[in-house]
Amino acid sequence: MQVSKDYLDIAADGPIARLTMNRPHKRNAMCDGLLAEIDAFYSAPPDGVRVVILSGDGGHFCSGLDLSEHVARDAEGTMRHSRNWHAVMERIRFGGLITVSVMTGAVIGGGLELATATHVRIAEPSVIFQLPEGRRGIFVGGGATVNVGRIIGADRMVEMMLTGRKYGAEDGRQLGLAHYAVGDGEGMPLAEELAAKIASNAPLSNYVMVQALSRISDMSSRDGLFTESLCAALTQTTPDAEEGLKAFLEKRSPVFR
């Protein structure tokens, strides 16, 4: 399946879908239309899709919020707009699909908020990570205080926003903003390899890992350990778990449902 929307190109092949943000003249800045198209995909993905590869056309991932739209909003409109971003980022993180992001060029402001809502992040050498809101007299509104803050910590995030500091791919990898730092043109091949591997996992195991781990990190140790036991009981008593153990003992790759 291949579909081109106004701002988003969608290609689905079996369990893997490729979403390409297509506003190269704006460095893929996030307008309301692009956010709505991303939301629509994650709200009703094609049947059988398990993993998404998210990237941007034209050498940039996403340069953040389209400020030509932002300046026209009043306080109430800005707050509602922010809450809609939160809902879409939540859908990406917890909606049931695993997302691998291939980052090039600008990963700035809202682009970094989008990237950190994804589950596996690959950075090519052109990447620039930045939160420039402090230099523009505004504040983050698309989930950075949670999604970026949980990765790099509040102290470093304060410094990034106050100074507009930029990080490259390798610095981003060391900070956790990227899981992989690769060479030019190597992001998509690695994403495809990782997506295929993830798609071949047991579906329930993938789902529980995404749903549980970040939530457990917000719990007390006692509550987290109890939740871990529930997750273990849920996943380890399924036919897929039986197949995984059998495949290990037989020295073969498992075939999950």
Q: Are residues 214 and 158 in the same domain?
A: no
Asked whether residue 256 is domain-assigned, the answer is no
What is the reported pLDDT for 70? Answer: 65
Domain holding 221: CATH number? 1.10.12.10
Q: Are residues 59 and 92 in the same domain?
A: yes
Q: Are residues 13 and 132 in the same domain?
A: yes
Q: Are residues 178 and 208 in the same domain?
A: no
Tally of domains within the chain: 2
Asked whether residue 257 is domain-assigned, the answer is no
Q: Are residues 242 and 167 in the same domain?
A: no
Q: Are residues 220 and 183 in the same domain?
A: no
pLDDT in tens, 2-14: 888 899 999 999 9
What mean pLDDT is predicted for residues 15-24?
Answer: 97
Q: What SS3 class is residue 97? A: coil
Q: Are residues 177 and 223 in the same domain?
A: no
Asked whether residue 254 is domain-assigned, the answer is no
Asked whether residue 158 is domain-assigned, the answer is yes
Domain holding 180: CATH number? 3.90.226.10
Asked whether residue 255 is domain-assigned, the answer is no
What is the reported pLDDT for 71? Answer: 66
The residues annotated as belonging to the active site are 113, 133
The β-bridge partners of 12 are: 17
Start-to-end Cα distance in the chain: 22
Q: Are residues 233 and 124 in the same domain?
A: no
pLDDT in tens, 46-88: 999 999 999 999 999 999 988 877 667 889 988 999 999 999 9
Q: Are residues 14 and 79 in the same domain?
A: yes
Q: Are residues 127 and 163 in the same domain?
A: yes
Q: What is the DSSP string of 194-248?
A: HHHHHHTS-HHHHHHHHHHHHHHHTS-HHHHHHHHHHHHHHHTTSHHHHHHHHHH
**Residue 243: is it exposed, middle or buried by C-beta count within 10 angstroms (0-12/13-18/19+)?**
middle
What mean pLDDT is predicted for residues 15-37?
Answer: 96
Q: What is the DSSP letter of 30?
A: B
Q: What SS3 class is residue 146? A: helix
Asked whether residue 11 is domain-assigned, the answer is yes
Q: Are residues 25 and 82 in the same domain?
A: yes
Asked whether residue 238 is domain-assigned, the answer is yes
Identify the domain containing residue 237 by its residue range.
203-249
pLDDT in tens, 94-138: 999 999 999 999 999 999 999 999 999 999 999 999 999 888 889
Which residue, 199, 217, 239, sits at the end of a domain?
199
Overall residue count recorded for the chain in this entry: 257
pLDDT in tens, 160-187: 999 999 999 999 999 999 999 999 999 9
Q: Are residues 36 and 154 in the same domain?
A: yes
What mean pLDDT is predicted for residues 133-159?
Answer: 94
